[in-house]
Amino acid sequence: MNMDCLPDPEQLVAALLAQLVPALSLDAKLVGIHSGGAWLAERLAAELPGQHELGSIDVSFYRDDFSRVGLHPQIKKTHLPFEIEGAELLLVDDVLFTGRSVRAALNELFDYGRPASVQLAVLIDRGGRELPIEAQFVGARLTVPRDQSVVLARAATGHLSLGLQPRQERADA
C-alpha cells in the first residue's frame, strides 16, 4: 500500500461528524488519546453541536507492554479538566489496531472515576485486534500490512494528513 491509497483524513473527520451528530449527547465530554486522538478530539469538539468539554490522556504508563518496550520518547501530560464520575465520555483515537492503547486509556480513566458511559471514535480502524475492543464510530476501515503503521500528522494550519511508515517494536493502538 502506498501513501496515495490512504483516504483524506479531512473527509474522514466529516464522516465521523455525520455519525456523531445524531448519536452523541450535547454535553458529552471528549477525551483524546495523545497525540493524534487529541488532535482529532479538538477538531470534533469544535465542530460538534453542543458544549463538549475537552480532555486529553497519555496512556504510556498504563500500557501492558510498558515493561517490555519502555516509555514512548514523547510523554504528554494527561489533562482532564472535568469530573469523570458519572460523565458521558467519547474516547477519541486516530488509529485502532490491537486495542491495547484503548484498554490502557480505559484503565487510566477509571482511576479518575466511574463514567456513566464511554464510547469510542477512531479515524481509522485497521483491524488486527488482540483485545475485544470495538469502536462505535469509525471514519474508515483499512487493511494495512502488520509491518506498517498508519500515522496521522497535523500541520501548523491544523490540516490533517495520513502516512505509512515501518512499524516499530512498540505496539500500535
Per-domain boundaries in the chain: 3-166
> Looking at residue 167, what is its pLDDT?
86
Q: What pLDDT digit, counting tens, does each position of 154-172 carry? A: 999 999 999 999 987 544 4
> Looking at residue 2, what is its pLDDT?
42
Assign domain 3-166 to a CATH class: alpha beta
Q: What pLDDT digit, counting tens, does each position of 113-142 carry? A: 999 999 999 999 999 999 999 999 999 999
Query: d(Cα 170, Cα 23) in Å, to the nearest integer?
Result: 34
Mean pLDDT by 10 residues, the chain (173 residues): 74 98 97 96 97 95 60 74 98 96 96 97 96 97 93 94 82 44
CA dihedral 54→79→36→111, nearest 10 degrees, is -100
Query: d(Cα 123, Cα 84) in Å, to the nearest integer?
Result: 24
